[in-house]
Structure 1
Amino acid sequence: MVTIKEIAKAAGVSPATVSRVLNYDPSLSISAAKRQAVIETAEALNYDTPRNRNRTQAGPLQLPNRVLAIPRVAIVHFLEPAEELADPYYIGVRLGIENRCRELRIEPVKVFHSQTLAADALLQSVSGVIAVGRHSSSEIDWLTQHCGHLVFADFVPRLAEIDHVCCDLGLATRKILDGLFAAGYRRIAFIGAHDPVSADGRRFGERRCSAYIAWQREHGLFDARLMALADHGDHGQNLKLEAGYEQAKVVLAQPERPDALITANDNMAIGAYRAIQEAGLSIPGDIAVASYNDIPVAQFLSPPLSTMRILSEAIGETAVDLLIERIQGRSYPKHVVIPAEMIWRDSSRAPSQPV
C-alpha cells in the first residue's frame, strides 16, 4: 500500500504538504504546478484514500455483464485544470466520477473547458459524456449534438430531456437563512455571483442568489445594500478567495453593518474571514459567517466554519450511474437531487431547534 511519505519523496515535497493537497486545502501556499504534480504522483502510484480502502475491504463489487462492455466515458469539465485544482468541491465531483468508473472497470477520459470544442471526435468515440458544472446554452447545444448519451453533474441544464444530478441550492439557501434567523440574526448579507444571462432573463437567476432575495423579501428584510455580487462568468473565477475578500469589504463598509454573512462557497468564506479580521471585527462576536460545500479545510478555520455540506463525490458517483442506465437503454430522463446537510460550527450561533 502506497504511503503519503512515498508520494512526498517522489514529488519532492513534505508529507504534510501531500496530506494538505490530497485533502484539498485551498489555504495551502503552493504553486498550481506543484499541486498538480502531487495529485498526479498519487494517481500514478495508485494511492488509495481511506474511503476507497474501506470500499475494497467491503468485498468485490458485483457487476452486470453489460456494464463491463462500456469501455470509456468522457468527463467534460467547465473549469480549466488549474482552476479545478484550486477548488476542492469540484475535485470531489470528479473523484466521485473516477472512483465509480474504477469500480465498474470503465476508463474515464478528462476533457477540460478549453479542449471541449476541439474534442468532437473524442466525444463521439466514447460511450457517454458526463458534463461537470455550469455550461452555457451554446455549449449545452454543442454537447447534445456531439454526445450520444449525456448527463450533467452539479448543474441543471433547464432541458427536461437531459439527465442531471445536483444539490438543490435554493432549498439549501433557505435552510441556512432559516437557521440563522432562528439563532437571532436579522441583518444577513450575501456575497456571491449573479447570472448575467440566465435562462429566464433574470439578472439574479443564480439559485443561491435568487433564493436569498426571495427569502429576504418574504420576511420583510430585503436590503440590496447587503448584497455584493459579481458576474458568474469566467468559469467560476468570481467565486474564489479573492472575490470573497473584496465582496466582504463591500458589505462591511455599509453604515449599518450586517450581523451575519452568507458566502456562496467555502473558498469565498476564507477570503471573507480575512476582510472581517482586517476590519478589526471578530467571528462570530461581531459578525457570523455561513457558507456552502463543507470542504475539508472548513473545520480547521479559526473559528471553524458553519457550512452546508454538499456531497460532491456522491453527485459524481450518481452521474455515472445515470449514464450507465442511459447507455443500457433507459429512454426517459431522470433528475436526481442529493440532499445537503447544514453543519453548524463556531463561526455562527446555531439554532436551538433543528430547522
Structure 2
Amino acid sequence: MLDVSREAGVSSATVSRVLTGSAEVDPKTRMLVLAAVEKLGYRPNLVARGLRRQASQVIALIITDIENPFYTAVCRGVEDSARLAGYSVILCNADRDIEKEREYLRVVEDQNASGIIISPASAHRTDISNLVARGLPVIAVDMALAAATGSVLVDNKDAGALATNHLIGKGCTRIACITGPAENSTAADRVEGYRRAIAEAGIQEEPKLVIYANYLEDGGYKATRRLLGLKTRPDGLFVTNNRMAVGALRALQEMGVSIPDDINIIGFDELPWALELHPYLSLVRQPAYRIGQEAARLLIACIRKEEPVKHVILDAELVARDRRPLAKARKKPAKATIT
C-alpha cells in the first residue's frame, strides 16, 4: 500500500479509503489511486486489512472438474474430514484451465487459507511456488506435483494394467485404449499400465489403437467412432476416465455395437446412471472419498505440525460386471503405501 501511495502522491490512509470505499474521496484522487494500483499490479491483502485472522480455520480445495463424479466424492471426503477437525473448505473449480487455476491460486493466497489441496491442471505448468515460498502446505491429489508438501494418489500404472488384464481375461486380443491428454501424467501412467499388461500377455501393440483425447464426453465419443472405423475393429476397449466413457457408450449405441457381444469395455471410476443402461459395464474404481479424507487429514496434520510429510499411494479396485465368466481373474487386495 505504501508503494501505491507514493506512486499516486497521496497518503496511505487515502489509498485505504479508495480501496475499501469506507469514506468519500475526490474523484480525481480516486482515479490517481486506481491508476497506481493498476500500474503496480497491487492486490490488497485481506489479512493485512484485518478481514481475516492470521491463523485461519479455512483450507482451500482446487479441483479440475466439478462435473466429474470422482471429484465430487473427493470433495465430500475433504469436507467431512475437515469439518471434524474444525476447518471450513473453500471450493474452486479450475476446469483443467491453467489460467483459471492460477487465478484461484492468487485468490487463495489473498484469502490467507491455512493450506491447500489441489488436483493440478498440469504436472508441469501448475505453479504453487508462491504458496510454497510462504510456507503454506500443499497436498496434491489425482496427479503428482513435484513442489507439493505431500500427496494422495492412486497407483495409475497398476490400475491401467488391472483394467487391461480384465479385458485379456475375457479373451480380448485386440484391445484399444482411449486416454487423456498426452501431457497429463495421470493419463500417461494409465497408458503405461495398459502397455505393460498387453506386453506381458504377448499381444503386439498397435499404435493406432491408442488414442489421446480430452477427458470429456466429446473426446470419448470421437475416439470411439474413430476406432470403430478401423478395418479391423478392436474387441476390447479401455477408457481411462468416466466422462470419456459416457461419450464412448453413446458412440457404441449409435453404431449398433453391443456390449459385451460385439466388444468388451471397461471404464475408470463410477458412472452412477450408466449402470441403468449398461449393467455389464465393468470399471476400475478409485477410492475417491478416501482420497479426499486422507488429503484433508494430511493437510491439517501439516498445518498443525503434528507429523512429517507423507506421500500416500492407494490401490484402485476392479468392479467386474460382465455377464460372461472371466477366463482368469486377477484382483489384488486393497492396500495403501506411505512413503
TM-score of the aligned structures, taking structure 2 as reference length:
0.72
What residue in structure 2 maps to residue 50 of structure 1?
Answer: none
The 3-state SS of whatever aligns with 1:137 is coil
Q: Using the alignment, how far apart are the partners of 1:348 and 1:157 within structure 2?
A: 40
Identify which of 132, 156, 163 aligns with 1:144: 132
1:261 and 2:259 are equivalent in the alignment: no
Identify which of 249, 258, 261 aligns with 1:285: 261
The structure-2 alpha-carbon separation of the partners of 1:136 and 1:178, relative to structure 1 and needing over 3 Å to count, comes to closer
CA contact (8 A) 1:165 1:335 kept: yes
Q: Deviations over 1:130-180 (max 9, x none)?
A: 112443434234343355111112221145x63000111110111112222
CA contact (8 A) 2:120 2:145 kept: no
Structure 1 residue 99: deviation in Å? Answer: 1.5
What residue in structure 1 maps to residue 51 of structure 2?
Answer: none
Identify which of 161, 179, 188 aligns with 1:206: 188
Name the % identity. 27
The structure-2 alpha-carbon separation of the partners of 1:149 and 1:189, relative to structure 1 and needing over 3 Å to count, comes to same
Could you say what the CA RMSD is over the residues aligned between the two structures, in angstroms? 2.5
Identify which of 305, 313, 330 aligns with 1:337: 313
Q: Using the alignment, how far apart are the partners of 1:294 and 1:118 within structure 2?
A: 28
What residue in structure 2 maps to residue 26 of structure 1?
Answer: none
Structure 1 residue 342: deviation in Å? Answer: 0.5
Q: Using the alignment, how far apart are the partners of 2:229 and 2:101 within structure 1?
A: 41
What residue in structure 2 maps to residue 72 of structure 1?
Answer: 58
Structure 1 residue 320: deviation in Å? Answer: 0.5
Amino acid at match of 1:269: A
**Worse-superposed segment, 246-255 or 329-338:** 329-338
Q: Using the alignment, how far apart are the partners of 2:78 and 2:71 within structure 1?
A: 11
Identify which of 145, 154, 157 aligns with 1:157: 145
Identify which of 71, 86, 94 aligns with 2:75: 94
Amino acid at match of 2:182: D
What residue in structure 1 maps to residue 209 of structure 2?
Answer: 226
The structure-2 alpha-carbon separation of the partners of 1:340 and 1:136, relative to structure 1 and needing over 3 Å to count, comes to closer
Q: Deviations over 1:225-269 (max 9, x none)?
A: 211213xxxxxxx11221111100111111111111000112222
The 3-state SS of whatever aligns with 2:77 is helix
The structure carrying a bigger helix percent of its residues is 1
Q: Deviations over 1:97-145 (max 9, x none)?
A: 1121122221111233326436536436121111124434342343433
Structure 1 residue 213: deviation in Å? Answer: 2.6
Identify which of 288, 296, 309 aligns with 2:272: 296
Q: Aligned residues, how many?
A: 269
The 3-state SS of whatever aligns with 1:140 is coil
Amino acid at match of 1:155: M
Identify which of 300, 304, 320 aligns with 1:324: 300
Structure 1 residue 304: deviation in Å? Answer: 3.6
Q: Using the alignment, how far apart are the partners of 2:197 and 2:117 within structure 1?
A: 33
The 3-state SS of whatever aligns with 2:180 is strand
The 3-state SS of whatever aligns with 1:337 is strand
The structure-2 alpha-carbon separation of the partners of 1:167 and 1:215, relative to structure 1 and needing over 3 Å to count, comes to same
Q: Deviations over 1:9-32 (max 9, x none)?
A: xxxxxxxxxxxxxxxxxxxxxxxx
What residue in structure 1 maps to residue 251 of structure 2?
Answer: 275
Q: Using the alignment, how far apart are the partners of 1:134 and 1:196 within structure 2?
A: 10
Q: Using the alignment, how far apart are the partners of 1:253 and 1:128 within structure 2?
A: 48
Q: Using the alignment, how far apart are the partners of 2:328 and 2:198 within structure 1?
A: 21
1:129 and 2:116 are equivalent in the alignment: yes
The 3-state SS of whatever aligns with 1:139 is coil
Q: Using the alignment, how far apart are the partners of 2:182 and 2:118 within structure 1?
A: 19
What residue in structure 2 maps to residue 182 of structure 1?
Answer: 169
TM-score of the aligned structures, taking structure 1 as reference length:
0.69
The structure-2 alpha-carbon separation of the partners of 1:118 and 1:291, relative to structure 1 and needing over 3 Å to count, comes to closer
CA contact (8 A) 2:82 2:297 kept: no
* Structure 1 unpaired stretches of 5+: 1-68, 199-203, 231-237
Q: Deviations over 1:325-351 (max 9, x none)?
A: 212225643111222110011377544
Structure 1 residue 93: deviation in Å? Answer: 1.0
Identify which of 216, 223, 227 aligns with 2:198: 216
* Structure 2 unpaired stretches of 5+: 1-54, 95-99, 332-339
